[in-house]
A and B are shown apart, each in its own frame.
Chain A
Amino acid sequence: MRKTVIEPNGRNFQYWKDIWNYRELALNFAKRDVTVRYKQTRIGLGWAVIAPIINVFVMTFIFGNLAGLESDGNAPYFVMVYAGTIPWGLFSKAITSVSSTFITNADIMKKVYFPRLISPIGTSIAHVIDSLVALSILLIMMLIMGYFPSVKFLLFPVFFLICLLLGSSLGLFLSSFNVKWRDLSQIIPFAISVGQYLTPVAYSIDSIPENFRLIYSLNPATGAINAFKWCLIKDMPFDWTSFIITIVWIIFLFPIGIYFFRKTERTFVDIV
């Protein structure tokens, strides 16, 4: 029979084994999130498509037409913006939902044990599904427009993973503070909407003057978003500087995020 030991600051190894044991629960959480999100709406999954498309149109108009910025690698401006919003959506949703995971799931967590990391894993899976839907819409639109991606497109799962890891690392880190200071749940959405303009989502990284480029690349999201755009846009050069900075951020933030999350999950039910 399986032996379980409970101690203050319990052993880690048991915890990771538990995550594996509870993997079905993560899928169930993901399924719940996706089902609930689209159940009540008449057009269903269509909302995952329509809202971003309108958003993309607006930004294309502002940055491409009004400001007259250049696109990446001769791609139609619209395609470039759409390619930017997909990873940005994944990244920003991962931050928002992972950072509030203790609060949104407090009712369940107060009553049942499961390794708490299951819950951010579940939401992350749901966000990936959303992003895949958005990506397939973009591909259809690209085919209609006659702009085909090259083989490097097949690398997109890697860049999805990078965006997800970066967003959830930040989310995990913030989640522990979100339990104590609820103000964060007001600040995070604000920071995200500002952050979108500090990241090459709706414009090319080339629009940033050369001498600011390094500072601009210190933004952890810059490399992640730019790299994803690269895999969709044919003649776009790969920006190694920002990409490496992003990877360094992840290597640094992910363990810290896990550490804070683990620290909080032990006793957060006593506070919430």
Chain B
Amino acid sequence: MKEKPVVLKIENIKKRYKIKVIKKKPENKIDSAKLALKSFLNPNSNKEDFWALSGVNFNVEQGEKIGIIGKNGAGKSTLLKIISRITEPTDGRIEMLGKISSMLEVGTGFNSELTGRENVYLNGAILGMTKAEIDAKFDEILEFSEVGKFIDTPVKRYSSGMFVRLAFAVASHLEPDILLVDEVLAVGDTRFQKKCIDKMLEIAASGKTILFVSHQMNTIRQLCDRVIVLSKGKVIFDGDVEEGIKIYNSDIYTEKKLHYEYKNLHRSQAKELDKAEVLSLDILNTDTCVYKVNESIDFNIKVNIKIHDLGDISLRAFFWQNDDSPVSVCFSKPFANINTPGEYNFNVKITDHHLNPGVYKATLNLLGGSSRVNENNLDYISPAFVFEVVNEDGTATLWARDWGRCNFKNLEINPI
């Protein structure tokens, strides 16, 4: 087979940011005045270098669909910003062939005073389309957006759904040779999200080169034929999709353990640590913290009660996606009535959770009284533990059958 041309050559790309470092607080007014003067005269004196990218290298051949994955702060977005020329690298060189477009956000430059039609032309121009191109595609964009007769209404009167649909419609009708996408697919309701992903698949099938940044492993599986894993500004893996996802998972799971100690953990939101404190947590019945959909999550917690006559205690658990977007919460009834100080162990089961496949972080919140009524916040540990949910048969369908029914049953807690 004939070798395909390299359309994107990334050589030793580095990016340095100067970040402000807060040093120890000055003790008196003279010191703080000195410090203020110093930072005024030399603005870099309290800044440190931070290398968001420290030497990234890879080549992309025409038509490849590359998923770029990595933890938050691994440098994915910085890399995309450099390739799309929003900011310059500190060092290195990139060569690109052909027209390059980026979808780092939908609706960039939309102006609420302008009508849908005016915004299509403005946004199209911002994304690099010519008027002739937009004219040619206008009907297609209009149809895809489902905005219909509202196209001549100022977008400030649009529902947020209509707004993102129109925005995505414009962006997805770009015709670049290389397309950069940063997790913009999650727009609109589920039906429109499906449509967006189908559109992306269509673009992918048309032989365009795509670089796709996402935390959604399932979308990566659907769209990409190669994966690059970034960690701390470096490429740690480049190749097969499944293997890359495995490495990415092991990378985020460096923080995932079967046993957690909270004793010295800083908790900003715990109000009454002097009364009660969660000391540790042990995950049960798994070695990997990977659960099938509807498999219950089982763990033990050790609680230290420090005062007499504390009374009822209850527990709340919050769930977050790996990118810190909130998912759901579940509550327990008061599970113990404690009158003597000491260490107590409890077993907690989270059953029937209907979580979509993905990686989640859980927050535990220990409360005095009933968790629904009394907001007596004793301890708050965030994140308390990390786990992953996969489909029952291990396949990668995008939507779990019961997804959207995030209907948590009450926590089941028993003394042991």
Contact = CB atoms under 8 A, between A and B. Distances in A.
Q: Decide whether A and B assemble into one complex.
A: yes
A4 B100 contact: yes
Contact of A6 (B7, B82, B98): B82
A183 B108 CA distance: 27
Contacts, number: 103
A3 B92 CA distance: 17
A42 interface: no
Contact of B85 (A6, A108, A110): A6
Contacts of B73: none
Contact of A8 (B7, B88, B98): B88
A144 to B, nearest CB: 34
A260 interface: no
Interface stretch (A33-41, A124-132, A250-258): A33-41
A4 B88 contact: no
A116 to B, nearest CB: 10
B404 interface: no
Contacts of B177: 1
Interface in A1-59: 1-10, 22, 24-25, 28, 31-32, 35-36, 39-40
Given A2-B99, A269-B81, A111 B93 contact: no
Contacts of B131: 24
Contacts of B90: 8
Contacts of B97: 1-4
A109 B131 CA distance: 21
Interface residues of B, number: 41
A36 B87 contact: no
Contact of B87 (A40, A114, A270): A270
B127 A3 contact: no
Contacts of A1: 7, 97-99, 177
A6 B89 contact: yes
Nearest to A105: B109
- Most chain B Cβ neighbours within 10 Å, of A25, A31, A36, A112: A112
Given A6-B96, A25-B126, A114-B128, A109 B114 contact: no
A211 interface: no
Interface string A242-272: 0000000000000000000000001101100
B94 A35 contact: no
Contacts of A110: 86
Given A10-B88, A28-B122, A113-B84, A35 B113 contact: yes
A45 to B, nearest CB: 15
A39 B155 CA distance: 13
A206 interface: no
- Most chain A Cβ neighbours within 10 Å, of B85, B102, B108: B85
B130 A267 contact: no
Contacts of B309: none
Contacts of A25: 125-126
A187 B272 CA distance: 49
A105 to B, nearest CB: 8
A270 B78 CA distance: 10
For chain A, the bracket of interface size reads 20 to 34
Contacts of B105: 111
A112 B127 contact: yes
B44 to A, nearest CB: 12
A85 B407 CA distance: 67
Contacts of A3: 95-97
A4 B89 contact: no
A8 B85 contact: no
A111 B110 CA distance: 12
Given A3-B96, A32-B111, A108 B126 contact: yes
A108 B109 contact: yes
B17 interface: yes
Contacts of B95: 3-6
Nearest to B108: A111
B88 A28 contact: no
Contacts of B130: 24
Contacts of B126: 25, 28, 108, 112, 114
A108 B113 contact: no
A109 B122 contact: no
A5 B93 contact: yes
A113 B93 contact: no
26 contacts: A1-B98, A2-B99, A3-B95, A3-B97, A5-B94, A5-B95, A6-B83, A7-B93, A8-B90, A22-B128, A25-B125, A28-B122, A28-B125, A31-B122, A36-B111, A39-B154, A107-B108, A108-B109, A109-B86, A111-B102, A111-B104, A112-B102, A112-B104, A112-B128, A113-B102, A266-B87
Given A32-B122, A40-B113, A269-B87, 9 more contacts: A5-B94, A6-B88, A8-B92, A28-B125, A32-B118, A39-B114, A111-B104, A111-B105, A113-B85
Interface of A: 1-10, 22, 24-25, 28, 31-32, 35-36, 39-40, 107-114, 266-267, 269-270
